[in-house]
Amino acid sequence: MLSSPTIAIAPAPLHVLPSTDPPYKLLQSHPSLALLSKCRSTRTLKQIHSQIIKTGLHNTQFALSKLIEFCSISPCSDLAYAVLLFESIEQPNHLIWNTVIRGHSLSDSPALAIDFFVRMIVSGAVPNCYTFPFVLKSCARSGLAPEGRQVHAHILKRGLDSDVFVHSSLISMYAQNGDLEGARLVFDKSSHRDTVSFTTLMTGYALKGYMDDAKKLFDDMPRRDIVSWNAMIAGFTQCGKFDEALETFRKMQRKNVLPNESTIVTVLVACAQSGHIELGKWVHSWIKDQGMGSNLRIVNSLIDMYSKNGDLEKARSMFDAIQEKDVISWNVMIGGYNHMNHHREALELFREMLLQSHVKPNDVTFLNVLPSCACLCALDLGKWIHVYVDKNYKNCTSTSLSTSLMDMYAKCGNIVAAEQVFRSMEHKSLASWNAILSGSAMHGEVERALELFDEMLNEGFEPDEITFVGVLSACSHAGLVEFGRKNFTLMVDEFKITPQLHHYGCMINLLGRAGLFSEAESMIRSMDMEPDEAIWGSLLKACRIHRQVQLGETVAQNLFKLEPSNPGAYILLSNIYAEAGRWDDVARIRTRLNDVGMKKVPGCTSIEVNSVVHEFLVADKAHPQSEQIYKMLAEIDGLLERAGFEPDTTEVLYDIDEEWKEGALSQHSERIAIAFGLISTKPGTTIRIAKNLRVCRNCHSATKLMSKIFNRDIIARDRNRFHHFRHGSCSCKDCW
């Protein structure tokens, strides 16, 4: 029995097929081919293939084209197998050529379809009106505009441009390659413009954001079908014109055009992105009336709409009610948690997906989970995903997935792994450069960040505003005033980027810390926008460092106005007074602080041990191992004292609305997390923690000493940047 298909199709010389097939109606209903529609795995595919060989069907072009078609576009596609089949045929007919070109045009590497097209012509086979739509699609999908124009020349030579399918495919190809003039020319020259050609050109305009032109075509077209309406709604949605999108939807209903599944999905996207939750709810009840309430695509879109609008409970209850969840159901729910900063829930649901569902995660799943890993410093889970991706996607990992992995490593404290991923990437996007650049900046690797910036410019990448946030924050972390000024000018003059608050924030921080107050003030005056709390905040910090009492008072007033209930400004100002010996003013601020009833953001530190993320608050006793943790804390205090550590109590004010007690400083959340890390990991292991606020001075000094006493690398992420503690010192060189 021929159980091995490779043996079956590999023999030389090549398969010579009879020039004509038996009547196709006989073939079409053949039981062996009917089996294909039920085939779900490569194994059964191979069995069916053997069947086809046994019954002699493999001597027909029809059966082979069906097999190739199935291998190349079914859910369990295996393009390599399709090519193997194809190569075994000596003189493929049109159908076979078309099928193999179509298979490649829909694959991950659509450019290969063009290679087959060239081979087809060289072999003397004549492309027909079925061939060109596939070839044009691959020119569009692979972005090969010159090749697209050459194919257009072929079409004209063969007089096939009057075929409606070829005609609309041409418009689509030009439009998707961004050549709207080309698309318009094809459209204008034709005398057989149908609804599809109109809609295709209209979509081309919409894609570029030219909604006025799109609207004009829409109004001018003789007949509109449901796809035309949907395309118009989608066009408005994609360029953020949600009101117009929803208005078009209402108009279509007034004209008694019945929305279909795609319409609903598109409208729900508009509701999700624009926050029109009331309309979303109305659409939901309308869907129920229409009996579409159990359509999985629609339910998935509803979950997305509810979760993006903050109603996670409604979203979750709909998610739980789905009997047969698909990968998108999982992705939207995980993505919803991630979007609303419910990172723990995102990771928990991801675990549940792996353990309790039969749905395999895909790249979008990871794109939704990785930012949550990054936020919680869940490095083990992030690494697991990396290994999984390498194993399951081999060398076809997308640029965005690699970028997301890189970002995760950088934010979890492993900048070396981030750089490794970066170097291994074949295609880098601007986002990839931005991620590695700001990663290096976050880790205080300033020279590296500036090197990377030069490198990306040399490779011809055009930096954007995010790039410059990375560059300028690198300069500000290292106090490189001259570089900061230079790059700020470069950004504005060379790259014509209007500075945003973030950029000014970096500059003010940099100038303030260097004591260049008049330059900082004149920069603030030059801004087109109102300074935000970050800008005043960094200036106030600078006032404290340089003991600028008078300026500090003015700056603090600005902060009080912006954030009346944030205690940070009061604390900084009282520190400034304290350091100037103005105790009356200190007392006055403290009273005010107590009167206003500040909303203090509780300090919270997370640490991952054995793939589980643990979170600790100040003086937290909720952890099951609390008793051991506090024993360890006491031991640490003793060791610190013996090493000559003196608590720096200048920032005790941070605890002003805590019940102040002896030892409060050693109960800051980062200390508890480190103590937990020390008792639950092997000696010598690196400890990684992530804190939601900035590390206080006292904890910073204590942690430096702890890294020496326990001989551990401690990598701490605070709200701003990373601190790598090692052998008693910190990578930030005490300047943060």
Residue 431-470 contact track with DNA, rule CB under 7 A, x = bound: ----------------------------------------
Q: Does 184 bind DNA (CB under 7 A)?
A: no
Residues 254-273 that bind DNA (CB under 7 A): 261-263, 265-266, 269, 272
- Give me the DSSP letters along 689-733: EEESSPPPHHHHHHHHHHHHHTT--EEEE-SS-EEEEETTEETTT
Q: How far apart are CA 455 and CA 459, in angstroms?
A: 6
With CB under 7 A as the contact rule, the residue among 35, 53, 84, 226 that binds DNA is 226
Give the binding range for DNA (CB under 7 A) out of 109-117, 194-202, 481-489, 569-577: 194-202
Could you tell me which stretch among 161-169, 514-522, 580-588, 639-647 binds DNA (CB under 7 A)? 161-169
Extract the tokens encoding 612. 């589980």
Taking the least distance from each CB to DNA, the nearer of 252 and 715 is 252
Are residues 658 and 652 in contact, defined by beta-carbon separation less than 8 angstroms? no
Q: Which of 227, 490, 596, 617 touches DNA (CB under 7 A)?
A: 227
Q: How far apart are CA 399 and CA 408, in angstroms?
A: 14
Given 238, 625, 686, 731, the residue binding DNA (CB under 7 A): 238
85-121: b or e for each residue (b if 16 or more CB lie within 10 Å)? bbebbeebbbbbbbbbbbbbbbbeebbbbbebbeebe
Cα–Cα distance for residue pair 727/162, rounded to 1 Å: 76
Question: Is 381 a residue that touches DNA (CB under 7 A)?
Answer: no
CB atoms within 10 A of CB 341: 12
The answer for residues whose C-beta is within 8 angstroms of residue 451's C-beta and 6 or more apart is none
Total residues interacting with DNA, rule: CB under 7 A? 64
Phi then psi for 617, rounded to 5 degrees?
-100, 175
Chain positions 97 to 126 lying near DNA, rule: CB under 7 A, are 98-99, 102
CB of 146: closest distance to DNA in angstroms? 21
DSSP β-bridge partners for residue 730: 725
**Least separation in angstroms between CB 407 and DNA:** 11
Q: Which stretch binds DNA (CB under 7 A): 51-59, 160-168, 389-397, 670-678?
A: 160-168
From candidates 297, 342, 485, 546, binder to DNA by CB under 7 A: 297
What lies within 8 Å, CB to CB, of 60 at 6+ separation is 17, 18, 21, 22, 27
The one among 177, 200, 701, 703 contacting DNA by CB under 7 A:
200
State the distance between the two ends of the chain, measured CA to CA, in whole angstroms.
73
- The single residue among 138, 168, 487, 538 that binds DNA, judged by CB under 7 A, is 168
* Dist CA 576 CA 35 (whole Å): 81
Which residue, 53 or 296, has its beta carbon nearer to DNA? 296
Least distance to DNA, CB of residue 733, Å? 35
**629 contacts 675 by C-beta, under 8 angstroms:** yes
- Asked if 172 is part of the footprint of DNA (rule: CB under 7 A), the reply reads yes
31 burial (CB, 10 Å; 0-12 / 13-18 / 19+) is exposed
Query: Residues near 79 by Cβ (< 8 Å), separated by ≥ 6?
Result: 71, 72, 103, 104, 107
Residue of the chain from 5, 92, 127, 133 that contacts DNA (CB under 7 A): 133
- Which amino acid is located at 141 in the chain? R
Residue of 328, 417, 586, 598 that binds DNA (CB under 7 A): 328
- For the bound state, the minimum distance from the C-beta of residue 164 to DNA, rounded and expressed in Å, comes to 4
Q: At its nearest, how many Å lie between DNA and the CB of residue 317?
A: 18
Orientation angle between helical segments 533-545 and 549-562, nearest 10 degrees: 160
Residue 234 or 633: the one with the smaller Cβ distance to DNA is: 234
Nearer to DNA, 129 or 185 (CB): 129
- 129 in contact with DNA (CB under 7 A): yes
Task: Tell me how far, at minimum, the Cβ of 62 lies from DNA, in Å.
Answer: 5
Which residue ranges make up the site for DNA (CB under 7 A)?
Answer: 24, 28, 62, 65, 69, 94-95, 98-99, 102, 128-130, 133, 137, 163-169, 172, 194-197, 199-200, 203, 225-228, 230-231, 234, 238, 261-263, 265-266, 269, 272, 296-297, 300-301, 304, 326-328, 331-332, 335, 339, 362, 364-365, 367-368, 400, 404
